[in-house]
Amino acid sequence: MTERTRTRAHVYVSGRVQGVYYRATTRDTARETGVDGWVRNLDDGRVEAVFEGPEDAVREMVAWCETGSKAADVDEVDATYGEPEGLDGFEVRW
């Protein structure tokens, strides 16, 4: 894949990732990185996110998830890559 190739990553993040500004920081970082998608909390305590954009930027966001917000304590990041679905912008979902 080249830098211009677009990809999608569907990510699940576990650890202490809720109530620590993880979603807001993910949104801000994704927008700065030029990645489209969304992020939300799950009932089981994990955070779920989808990133779409240039392959390098998407992989940068997945790597960023390993640390996340300053207050987070990430245990695991599980990412699955696939074809983008054409998301536009980045939002926090409820």
Catalytic residues: 23, 41
Supply the Cα-derived Rg of the chain in whole angstroms. 12
Element spanning 13, H or E = strand 6-16
> Within 10 A of 21 (CB to CB), how many other CB atoms are there?
15
Q: Identify whether the C-beta of residue 12 lies closer than 8 Å to the C-beta of residue 47.
A: yes
DSSP β-bridge partners for residue 53: 7
